[in-house]
Amino acid sequence: MFKSRLFIKYFFTIVIILAIFTVLLYFFSKTFIKDEIFESEKSSARTVLGNVYEIVHSVDHSMESYRESALQAKKRELKNVITMAESYIGIIEEQAKKTSITPGAVEKKILEALNRFKYGNNDYIFVSDYRSFILAHPDPKVLNTDCSHLADVTGKLIVSPIVEAALKDGEGYYTYKWRRLGTEDKPLDKLTYFKHLPKLKWIIATGVYIDDIEAAANSMMSTAVENLRQILRDVKIAKTGYVFIFTTDIMLIHPNKNMESTTMEQYLNPVTKKQLYKELIAVADKPDGLMYKWDRPDDPGHYVYDKIAWVRYYKPLGWYICSSVYVDELQSSSQMLGRRILAIAFSSLLLLIVTGYIFSKKMAAPLKRLAEMAVRVKNGDLTATVAIKRNDEIGILADAFNSMVEQLRSNIDSLDAKVKERTAELQAAYDKLKALDELKSAFLSNVSHELRTPLTSVLGFAEIIRESFEETVMPHVNMDGKKVGRSVRRINENLDIIISESQRLTALITDVLDITKMEAGKMVWKRDVINVQHLLNHARTVTSPLFQRKDAVRLVIESEKNIPDTVGDYDRILQVVTNLLSNALKFSEEGDITLMAANSCDGNILISVSDKGIGISEEDQGMIFEKFKQLGNTLTDKPTGTGLGLPICREIAERHGGRIWVQSAQGQGSTFSFTLPVIQADSAMEV
């Protein structure tokens, strides 16, 4: 067997590789494994720290959301109070019309009623005239006095700015500090809603103290801190490592309950003798962390053990989140794993050499015969066969080799003819399909161009007719007759229909030309540097006239920070955003439409439009990106679009290397999203 070159090469290659591998493993694995596992453990500790940081951020975000929602609720409450007061004033005025009460007496009656009006926690309504003279107020100190120079404890004027803003804007909100009525408490933040009553020449206002919002938020924060304590007491890094949270003043959260609420100044670094919390703050948000000496739970008071700590600073709360672990615990798993690998490697070396010899011997002989037959077949001898009978994979390989040679002999004669026949058929079918596609594209393009010119004339002349009818004919028409009035209205309505349908047909023709050019590859694509935030703001400006027609629908833009620029055809991508916004508005009667940009998890830029409209059924979602497909029954519902907007959006997104999709459910709104690749501004891009 040692005369076989394959056996010698195969066996000694295995022996040499195993020997080299064992030696290298012996000299390098210990250090390598130690470093890699140590870094892995450090990374795990930093990951735990990052997770705790995200929990803290989530708690803080919840607090801020609560404050904002509570403040909005207070604003609605104030507005309702003023609305109720207006209704009451209207009732008194209506009652006065039925009697002989003078206007002055009516105003006096209204002011007396407002003076007595109380609600909530001793809250009230006050009235000022245009000179900042208080006409109604439950506090006799300010009633019937000039309050134009009245200011709070910070020196901020109160009545004058309210009067100015009411005269300018009609209504609004104003915040200042004021003492709660009937108490000697310190001044608190007070939110006031004011409204201009031009008929009476009054400014009516009411306010509410918002200290209860902060009190409730503080209570929620206390509960959140206690929950966080329970979580962190169960968190372990390595064997005894842990996570704690501190401020510049106290230890806020620590697995050791006795250390919580203690001052940070008392903890000193046993080596540097400096306050430990200052050294921890100095390494906040730095990857290397802080190495220091500390004692162990099983050896208290002996500060000789190496520890490493990483710190992250959560600025909104002023919290420092720290993960601390003993260095030897990070190294213990790597040391144990290294010893085991070395033992396994050396004990396996001998066994592998013996196994390699047997395996090489059994493999080399039949493979040599297979190689000889393969050479004969390569040289054109299709009569070669392998006489190997074995009940294993090599025997299967030999039988398969013989079968393939036989099959090759039987197929080789007819293969060329079949290939030529199929090639001719495919070429003919391809040429026919290509001609039909070019004919279709040319037909759509020609028809669209031919329709655009007369349609433009129809639209232009219709607008001229309407303008001439309104400016020239109408001034000379006697509108007293009912028949003339009906005719005029019918003419105006018919002209509006002609113009509206012409504009819709023009949009359809434009979309047909665009989709035809895109499919034919004749569209000229620009390469612009695109700032995503600028794109969103531009889309808001373009669609603002559409949103002004629906007061109950509001456009909200949400964008993550640090979204990179991309490169592409700015106008076409803007077309995608505005099309998605107009579609969302079309199927929404109220609520917010959210235009959002973010960094997606796959490294692309994600732009989405979400609405709270009628939604799209799962069946319809599969066809809305097809050409001329619209929601609803086009035989019974009046079409409101061309049916090409979303197919064009898909073409534009895919040409830029992205994709577009929809997530929706009937009655729950829809979210249309598309992605753009992150591409450097100076890089080349084909679109």
Is residue 503's pLDDT more than 70? no
User: Which residues in 568-588 are b (16+ Cβ under 10 Å) and which e?
Assistant: bbbebbbbbbbbbbbbbbebb
Taking the C-alpha atoms of residue 57 and residue 100, their distance in angstroms, rounded to an integer, is 65
Q: 368-403 pLDDT, tens per residue?
A: 677 767 777 777 776 777 777 777 667 777 777 777
Enclosing domain of residue 497: 411-522
pLDDT for 684 equals: 42
Residue that finishes a domain, picked among 489, 505, 522 = 522
Q: 275-334 pLDDT, tens per residue?
A: 999 999 999 999 888 999 988 888 888 889 999 999 999 998 899 999 999 888 777 766
pLDDT for 449 equals: 53
Residue 659 lies in a domain: yes
Same domain, 533 and 464: no
Same domain, 241 and 132: yes
Across 497-506, average pLDDT? 69
Same domain, 262 and 133: yes
What tokens does 620 get?
Answer: 């319809």
Q: 67-97 pLDDT, tens per residue?
A: 888 889 889 999 999 999 999 898 888 888 8
pLDDT for 597 equals: 94
Residue 402 lies in a domain: no
Same domain, 355 and 426: no
Query: Which amino acid does the sequence have at 451?
Result: L
pLDDT for 134 equals: 94
Taking the C-alpha atoms of residue 323 and residue 232, their distance in angstroms, rounded to an integer, is 10
Same domain, 241 and 317: yes
Q: 52-65 pLDDT, tens per residue?
A: 999 899 888 888 88
Residue 244 lies in a domain: yes
Same domain, 572 and 604: yes
Taking the C-alpha atoms of residue 524 and residue 517, their distance in angstroms, rounded to an integer, is 9
DSSP string, 544-608: HHHHHT-TTEEEEEEE-TTPPPEEE-HHHHHHHHHHHHHHHHHT-SSEEEEEEEEE-TTSSEEEE
Whether residue 37 contacts residue 337, with contact meaning beta carbons closer than 8 Å, is answered with yes
Taking the C-alpha atoms of residue 575 and residue 538, their distance in angstroms, rounded to an integer, is 11
pLDDT for 580 equals: 94
Is residue 685's pLDDT more than 60? no
Same domain, 427 and 510: yes
Q: Which of 314, 86, 98 is CA-nearest to residue 221?
A: 314
Residue 381 lies in a domain: no
pLDDT for 555 equals: 94
Bridging pattern class, strands 660-664 and 566-568: unpaired
CATH number of the domain where residue 426 is located: 1.10.287
Query: Taking the CB of residue 226, how many other CB atoms lie within 10 A of it?
Result: 10
Taking the C-alpha atoms of residue 608 and residue 587, their distance in angstroms, rounded to an integer, is 16
Q: 182-197 pLDDT, tens per residue?
A: 777 788 889 999 999 9
What value does the mean pLDDT of the chain take?
A: 81
Same domain, 545 and 607: yes
CATH number of the domain where residue 3 is located: 3.30.450.20
pLDDT for 29 equals: 60
Strand partners, 512: none
Same domain, 481 and 556: no
Residue 686 lies in a domain: no
Between 477 and 81, the more confident residue is 81
Whether residue 284 contacts residue 320, with contact meaning beta carbons closer than 8 Å, is answered with yes
With a pLDDT cut of 70, the percent of the chain lying above it is 79
Residue 188 lies in a domain: yes
Q: Which of 188, 205, 194, 115 is CA-nearest to residue 152?
A: 188
Is residue 579's pLDDT more than 80? yes
Residue 389 lies in a domain: no
pLDDT for 45 equals: 81
Residue that finishes a domain, picked among 522, 539, 572 = 522
Of the pLDDT bands very low, low, confident and very high (cuts 50, 70, 90), residue 671 is: very high
Across 348-375, average pLDDT? 68
Domain count for the chain: 3
Residue that finishes a domain, picked among 480, 498, 522 = 522
Taking the C-alpha atoms of residue 449 and residue 439, their distance in angstroms, rounded to an integer, is 15
Of the pLDDT bands very low, low, confident and very high (cuts 50, 70, 90), residue 437 is: low
Residue 396 lies in a domain: no
